[in-house]
Amino acid sequence: MNEKDNLFLLLVTFAAALGGLLFGFDTAVISGAVPFIKTYFALDDIALGWAVSSLLVGCIAGVIISGKPADILGRRKTLLTAP
């Protein structure tokens, strides 16, 4: 591998790792915002549960949508084309 390939590999690896880090960060941060969200939007317990879990619902939708392109194009190309 040459220098250019190493840099590309490093950037792709960094992007994938950053995605995992931000997912964990978002999951942790929402717990601190729960009292403010509940008060501001006057949510009952069911609506608050939906608001907090909507991140995970979005992740499930993303996995379902990206599964077929990953099978066809491969995981690397799918990750590179993701917005």
For 43-74, the pLDDT digits (tens) are: 999 999 898 888 788 888 888 988 898 899 89
For the chain, what is the domain count? 1
**Residue 60 belongs to what domain range?**
3-81
What does the pLDDT average to over 8-31? 84
Q: pTM (2 decimals)?
A: 0.51
Q: What is the pLDDT of residue 55?
A: 78
**Does the pLDDT at position 3 exceed 90?**
no
Pick the closest to residue 47 from 38, 39, 55 (CA basis): 38
What does the pLDDT average to over 31-38? 88
- Give the integer Cα–Cα distance in Å for 27 and 21: 10
